[in-house]
Structure 1
Amino acid sequence: MKIVVQRVKRASVTVNGEIIGKIGHGLLLLAGIHADDTDEQLEWCCNKIMKLRIFNDQEGLMNRSVQDVNGEILVVSQFTLYGDTRKGTRPGFTDAAPPEAAEPIYERMIEIFRQRTDLNVESGVFGAMMDVELVNDGPVTLIIKKEAQ
């Protein structure tokens, strides 16, 4: 599993001209599901993200989590995170989970955040063409990775 975590001032996702997910201050998560991913990788990533201290405290140091600042979370599926560009000029996506395997993991990720926090959790539409807009805060952008053992 590979997740790009962006601390944002605001973010939204639009499908067919309609905003379907919108947050204020919080985290935009671009989630790529690997073909070998299991609940183990999902749990690890969700726990890491919920506890990740990337928000400023009163001294301006990154000591607070999204939960500590009562932030919001926007989760967007992005299989292209597993694009392989080592050969040629067209990425290959054989490492990305096929849609029938990836979608339940993506939906479970959203469910985990909603069940384990009191935060507003929004999402994109799995497999849809989406326009994602954001105002990056910092910018602070990290990549969380957890590969199958």
Structure 2
Amino acid sequence: MRALLQRVSEAAVRVDGAVIGQTGPGLMILICAMQGDTETEATKLAAKIAKLRIFTDDAGKMNLNVTQAGNAALVVSQFTLAADTKRGNRPGFSHAAPPADGERLYLAFADALRGHGLNVETGQFGADMKVSLINDGPVTIWLDTAE
């Protein structure tokens, strides 16, 4: 699985103009299931993200994880993280998991984060979503379970 984390002051996702998920301070997580991924990757990635110390402590150092900082997460499925741009000018997405697997693993990932005590809101799988956020820092981190 691939994830792009952004530490945010706030983030929201809209479908047809209506807010369907949002967070205040915390993480905006764009997530993509890849061909061959299983619940194991979803669970491991959620654990890694829940423990990642990217929030500042009282001394201004990045020493706190999202839970310790008292923050939440907005998780949005984004198959374009699977983009293959090695050939030509149009990205290919054949490395992304099929839609049924992608949705199942996206939901498993969100549930695994909840299992670590996070308040998690989500987007809508397969919808045309509009995402807005205020990046804090900015802090943006790329994670891939294949690496």
Q: Are residues 1:114 and 2:114 paired?
A: yes
Q: In 2, distance between residues paired with 1:54 and 1:116? A: 16
The answer as to whether partners of 2:72 and 2:119 remain within 8 angstroms in 1 is: yes
Q: Residues 61-111 of structure 1: CA distance to partner in whole angstroms, max 9, x if unpaired?
A: 000000001101000000000011111111100000010111111111111
Q: Residues 24-75 of structure 1: CA distance to partner in whole angstroms, max 9, x if unpaired?
A: 0000000011011112211110000000000001111000000001101000
Superposition TM-score, scaled by structure 2 size: 0.97
Q: Are residues 1:21 and 2:21 paired?
A: yes
Superposition TM-score, scaled by structure 1 size: 0.96
User: Residue 31 of structure 2 aligns to which amino acid in structure 1?
Assistant: A
Which ranges of 4 or more aligned residues in structure 1 deviate by more than 4 Å?
Answer: none
Unaligned runs of 5+ in 1: none
Q: In 1, distance between residues paired with 2:108 and 2:40? A: 12
Q: In 2, distance between residues paired with 1:20 and 1:5? A: 19
User: Residue 5 of structure 2 aligns to which amino acid in structure 1?
Assistant: V
Residue 141 of structure 2 corresponds to which residue in structure 1? 142
Residue 66 of structure 2 corresponds to which residue in structure 1? 66
The answer as to whether partners of 1:10 and 1:22 remain within 8 angstroms in 2 is: yes
CA RMSD, Structure 1 to Structure 2 (Å): 1.1
| Aligned length, in residue pairs | 147
